[in-house]
Structure 1
Amino acid sequence: MENQVGEIGRALKDALRGIDTARLFLAAGCVGVAQSCLDSCIKYAKERVQFGKPIGGHQLIQEIIADMATKVEAARLLTYRAADLKSRGIRHIKEMSYAKYFASETALWISSQAVKIHGSYGTFDEYPVGHHYQDAITATILGGTAQMHQLTIGQQLLEIAAFK
């Protein structure tokens, strides 16, 4: 068998290990997208002036940015936890789904808010938030949809298969 890749009987296990790694990379990428959007919003909120003061001086902008920062940090910590367990060879099915699900949904929410904070500038090429929004949409699908990861988390917590 000159064209064989890997050992006989291990194809599924090897493929799943690859998918597992891809999910971790997707989660980490989503954290990066979310952090970039947050950084852009902080900078923009300090510089953009409306009604005689920076928009960062408005309560709503501060609340949105606070929510963004909290979610970025939570996504980062979930991703670090999954990476740590994976690197130590400890079972991490639930934790990987936590990380991929939360990080991708967080990136989508934060990038959407970032486009709104930037207003029409959020769609200009000079600002990365519009591109990040498109990337975040894709990331919610790659490596398993939110619903698939919710199902995985539920099955792991309840120890009951939703379907056979």
Structure 2
Amino acid sequence: MNFELSDDQNMAVENWRRFLEREIKPITDQHRDKPFPKDVLKGLLRATCEYGVGNGWVPEEGGGLGLDFVTSGLLYEELARVSADLAGAAFVNEGAAVKVFNAGSPELRERYLEATLAGELIGCSAISEPNAGSHVRGMRTKAVREGDTYRLNGEKLWISNSSAADYTVAVALTGEQEFTMFLVDRDEHGFETREVEKLGLNSWSMGQVIFNDVVVPAKNILGKVGGGLRETMKGFERSRCFISLVALGLGRASLDASIDYAQQRQAFGKPIGAHQLVQQLIAEMAIELEASRLMVFRALSLLDLGAGSNVEAAMAKAFTTEAVQRITSKAIQVHGAFGVTSEFPVERHFRSARMLTIPDGTTQINNLIIGRKLLGLDAFA
């Protein structure tokens, strides 16, 4: 197994890192407590897509850059180190574009795909519901056929990019245990959104999407009638890897901040980094971060090989998001009293890290996926 990056990958990451520090960080630092305004977010997405973030997973024939998953993962990890919130918004937008590319009609592709990949349109995916959560088959949003249209009624919750989205890719019941995916345009078809205030990742929009007698033409179905659940489940391996990449970025930012602080802060006549217990904290953070990276990029490499990575992605997501909670907590400990103030970034990283054990399968759900594979017994049944 070769763990070395190629020259092209090293060059791409280095150029991307310089660009982020120069062009992106000054903007994202101004928007830490509230969701990015829509015009600001579109400007950021237009900038990041030049480097393959937001359009890298769509093949070249669809207007994307067609990056491999490992290279794209390296870029997302680097972005999450600077702004986990923007990394989240870019990924969700890219995920919507992938669904349009994979399942959209030529008409829908022409209208939405290129604009989404260029950062001119913002998309989101509306799957989760208040009373369903991880039980995807428990969703209750319905789409009733009326001639050449469908009438949607229901409520989605915990939807990333919701307040900024120009369109949403929504899954609804079209029959008994029959789930269908629709592209719903905010301006053309109309849907309501409400932002949800949360613990962390506060620049990344997350909220409620409400369909109240929303009429959508049948031609806006993505894929086939009844194929929505299959299309939804296909994206979970990639999504779990992505959430893990956001966690890696937060972990790296916390470790970097802690090393810098430990080298400069003086106590008892020497830098605190020269004290044994501080070195132990730093070492433990680095060990967990490195173990997490190996698991995440192992899962991404399997995606590149075209092999199934359901279990590996679940392992990476469960381990990494829990590990980064410990890493960010230790970062606060290294900073002492300053660590719990908003003047230093580690308290924000800690709050954001706590968010990541929930989406795309909680730690417990991912453990059940792993257990099912190992034992051959289904706890979901």
Q: TM-score normalized by structure 2?
A: 0.42
Does the CA contact (< 8 Å) of 2:261 and 2:335 recur in 1? yes
State the match for 1:154 in structure 2.
371
Aligned with 2:279 (options 56, 62, 72): 62
Tell me which amino acid in the other structure corresponds to 1:91. Answer: G
Secondary structure of 1:2's aligned partner: helix
Q: Which runs of 5+ in 2 are unaligned?
A: 1-217
Tell me the equivalent position of 1:2: 219
CA–CA distance in structure 2, aligned partners of residues 132 and 6 of structure 1: 38
Corresponding residue number in structure 2 for 1:28: 245
Q: In structure 1, how many angstroms separate the alpha carbons of the residues matched to 2:380 and 2:360?
A: 20
In the alignment, the residues of structure 2 paired with residue 110 and residue 101 of structure 1 have an alpha-carbon distance, to the nearest angstrom, of 15
The residue identity in structure 1 corresponding to 2:268 is F
- Where is the strand percentage greater, Structure 1 or Structure 2? 2
Bigger fraction of residues in helix: 1
* Number of the residue aligned with 2:294: 77
Alignment of 1:86-125 (within 5 A): 86-125=303-342
Candidates 20, 23, 39, aligned match of 2:256 = 39
Larger radius of gyration: 2
1:138 correspondence with 2:331: no
Corresponding position of 2:74: none
In the alignment, the residues of structure 2 paired with residue 159 and residue 61 of structure 1 have an alpha-carbon distance, to the nearest angstrom, of 44
Aligned to 2:92: none
**Paired AA for residue 49 in structure 1:** Q
**RMSD over aligned Cα atoms:** 1.4
Identity across the alignment (%) = 39
Using the TM superposition, give the Cα deviation of residue 163 of structure 1 relative to its aligned residue in structure 2, in angstroms. Answer: 4.4
**Whole-Å separation in 2 of the counterparts to 1:62 and 1:4:** 56
In the aligned structure 2, how far is the partner of 1:163 from the partner of 1:76?
29
Indicate whether 1:12 and 2:238 are aligned: no
Alpha-carbon distance in structure 2 between the residues aligned to 1:63 and 1:156: 36
Contact 2:237/2:309 (<8 A) preserved:
no
**TM-score normalised by structure 1 residue count:** 0.93
For 1:108 and 1:143, the matched residues in 2 are separated by 17
44-53 vs 119-128, greater mean Cα deviation: 119-128
C-alpha separation in 2, matches of 1:55 and 1:149: 38
Offset of 1:141 from its aligned partner?
1.0
- CA displacement, residues 69-106 of structure 1 (integer Å, 9 cap, x when unaligned): 11101101100011111122211111001111111011
Higher normalized contact order (CA 8 Å, seq sep 6+, divided by chain length)? 1
CA separation in 2, counterparts of 1:9 and 1:142?
A: 24
TM-superposition CA deviations, 1:111-164 (whole Å, max 9, x none):
011111111211333321111111111001112211111121111112222241
* Aligned partner of residue 90 in structure 1, secondary structure: coil
Aligned mates of 1:141, 1:28 — CA distance in 2: 15
* CA distance in structure 1 between the partners assigned to 2:379 and 2:224 by the alignment: 32
Q: Structure 2 vs 1, CA of residues 19 and 110 (structure 1 numbering), >3 Å: closer, same or farther?
A: same
Query: Larger deviation: 73-82 or 9-18?
Result: 9-18
Structure 1, 123-132 or 22-31: larger mean CA deviation: 123-132
Kept in 1, the 8 Å contact 2:237–2:314? The answer is no
Distance 1:60 1:44 in 2: 15
Correspondence for 1:50: 267
